[in-house]
Amino acid sequence: MPDFNPTQYAVPLFVLAVLAEMIWARLRAPEAYEPKDTLVSLAFGLGSTVAGALLGGFALAVFLAAYEYRVFDFGPQWWAVWWAWPVCFVLDDLKYYWVHRAGHRIRWMWASHVNHHSSQHYNLSTALRQTWTGAFTFGFLFAVPLVLLGFHPAMIAICGGFNLIYQFWIHTEAIKRMPRWFEAVMNTPSHHRVHHATNPRYLDRNYAGVFIVWDKLFGTFEPEVDDEPIRYGIVKQLGSFNLLWAVFHEWIGMIADMWRAPWRHKLSYLLREPGWSHDGSRETSDMIRARWRARTGQAPLSTAMSVADRNRIADAGEAA
């Protein structure tokens, strides 16, 4: 069985790439970085690897137990079945799409994933702003179907590692657009800037990891509009560089909401989308977008795209 962790080998590359982007920022866009924000993001990255090493054992045990019930058997030398690797990679990316979508639409999952979105900056250091608390969610269960299909947990972990490495480079403002064919199929800096934006039109869009086709297939794709400045972060920006607050703030908020809520609403604060409240005092991303659309008369760009492309009537000029 191969003992190989691709992200481990990629760390020096990450450091060099952040350094290169800092030099680009110094020359072209000094505001792209903020030293305190960078420190918090990188500390998130380090803490995430430590938390993964300490808390990842339970998920591994579940996977190994599930593997005993696999439908297909690639044999004792499963790593030598070459075609299983690309199939596993694609299916793992499909799994990533759904676990990521759940990470934004279920508050329990969001409490963990919000860490990755809590910076108001979008640069390569933001890519390393990874959660410490993923083990306290049920995200790992999304991989169980792959294990039951017959993919060994180590194969899934290696594919997942390459998936994460791919996602590193798309966290940048230094690259505007990739070639058209690439933008059509792959996740790119442009597509992922949309994902990190708090502009109402962009909220909860572009969940893809490697292949943007999943968003197009499942109706969550939104293209980047060139003349609308993007704001990054979360709807209610933290306003603090306290690392521990950044790590745990949503867990604290969610548990406090559950504690205070009437009994019949407690589970909803755990399982419904972020921003949901039993008394309507807060707004979900869908509510914010609907209010913005009502105010500005903007149609969803993804559905209006063909018309806009044909006659260039659509005016996307107003900043949200």
Partner 1 sequence: MLLQTAGSLVAILALAGLAWWMKLGGTPQLADEEDVRRIAAEVDDGFVPLASATDREGRAALARDAQGRIMLIKRHGNRFAGRLLGPGARARADAGTLEVDCGEARFGRVVLALGDAQAWAEAIDRLDEVRHA
**Whole-number minimum distance, CB 246 to partner 1, in Å?**
9
Q: Mark the segment that binds partner 1 (CB under 8 A) among 35-43, 73-81, 162-170, 259-267.
A: 35-43
**Whole-number minimum distance, CB 285 to partner 1, in Å?**
11
Note whether 193 binds partner 1 by CB under 8 A: no
**What residues between 218 and 277 interact with partner 1 by CB under 8 A?**
231, 233, 236-242, 245, 249
**Whole-number minimum distance, CB 11 to partner 1, in Å?**
7
- At residue 145, what are phi and psi to the nearest 5 degrees? -55, -35
Note whether 18 binds partner 1 by CB under 8 A: yes
Residue of 61, 295, 299, 300 interacting with partner 1 (CB under 8 A): 295
- The DSSP bridge partners found for residue 197 are 232
Residue of 103, 160, 189, 200 interacting with partner 1 (CB under 8 A): 200
CA distance 216 to 220: 6
**What residues between 120 and 139 interact with partner 1 by CB under 8 A?**
120-121, 125
- Which residue's CB is nearer to partner 1, number 66 or number 235? 235
**Whole-number minimum distance, CB 20 to partner 1, in Å?**
11
State both tokens at 235: 């709807």
State both tokens at 117: 């979105």
CA distance 314 to 98: 31
Strands (E), 152-241: none
Distances (CA, A) of 153 to 2, 48, 66: 11, 20, 9
Q: Mark the segment that binds partner 1 (CB under 8 A) among 33-41, 62-70, 171-179, 302-310.
A: 33-41
- The DSSP bridge partners found for residue 232 are 197
CA distance 109 to 266: 16
Note whether 308 binds partner 1 by CB under 8 A: no
Note whether 160 binds partner 1 by CB under 8 A: no
CA-wise closest residue to 275 among 262, 257, 263: 257
**What residues between 46 and 105 interact with partner 1 by CB under 8 A?**
46, 49-50, 53
**Whole-number minimum distance, CB 47 to partner 1, in Å?**
10
**Contact assessment for residue 9 and residue 213, using Cβ atoms and an 8 Å cutoff:** no
Largest CA distance in the chain: 61
Other CB atoms within 10 Å distance of the CB of residue 183:
17
Instruction: List the helix and strand counts (H, then E) for the chain.
Output: 15, 0
**Contact positions toward partner 1, by CB under 8 A?**
8, 11, 15, 18-19, 22-23, 25-26, 30-39, 42-43, 45-46, 49-50, 53, 120-121, 125, 198, 200, 231, 233, 236-242, 245, 249, 288, 291-292, 295, 319-320
